[in-house]
Amino acid sequence: MSRSQTRITGVLALPINRKGQLLLTQRRAPGRKFWDGKWQLAGGEIEFGESPEQALTREMREELGVTAKILFPYPIVRSIVYKKGKHIDLNVDVHLTLLCYLVDIGNQKISLDNDPEKETSAFHWWYPQEVKKLKVLPLTDEFIEAADKIIKSNKLLQ
């Protein structure tokens, strides 16, 4: 790997409610047209020394002020490469690998006040078919489609 490339591993949470709706957050990134205002899954980078589950717990507390219970033991894994200058305003190419866990947050009150970086401007519960009509970050549609299949085949809502 050259100095103009880096790898990042992140963890995402996809809360599911009893109605079959999925919780997405709206990204707040003023000055970054590629990211700003798009819908996404809550989460972030796994910090050095953290397990994916520890990162998931931290990210859910920071971004939404909730505690998540993992519903399905295996994450949905996807990766993408962002080229410097094209998608991101970094001086390196980024190979991003994301682990998405299906979670339950019950009836906890969601709060956006805990996020130290204020990256989230809104949240909303959506049915999987509604997500297709939204402006979303890359891979979001793929995560939703895979999650919908897991939910149905494993009867997670029963």
Q: Give me the pLDDT at residue 30, please.
A: 85
Alpha-carbon gap, residue 57 to 66, rounded angstroms: 9
Q: How does strand 5-15 pair with strand 93-104?
A: parallel
CATH 3.90.79.10 fits 5-153, yes or no: yes
| Residues found in the chain | 158
Q: Which two tokens stand for residue 150?
A: 């897991």
Domain boundaries, the chain: 5-153
User: Which residue do the tokens 């899954």 mark?
Assistant: 41
Q: Give me the pLDDT at residue 114, please.
A: 76
Q: Give me the pLDDT at residue 156, please.
A: 77
In the chain, which residue ranges form alpha helices assigned H by DSSP?
52-64, 128-131, 140-153
Task: List per-block mean pLDDT (blocks of 10 residues) for the chain, which spans 158 residues.
Answer: 86 95 93 88 96 96 95 96 76 93 96 82 95 95 95 81
Q: Give me the pLDDT at residue 88, please.
A: 65
SS3 62: helix
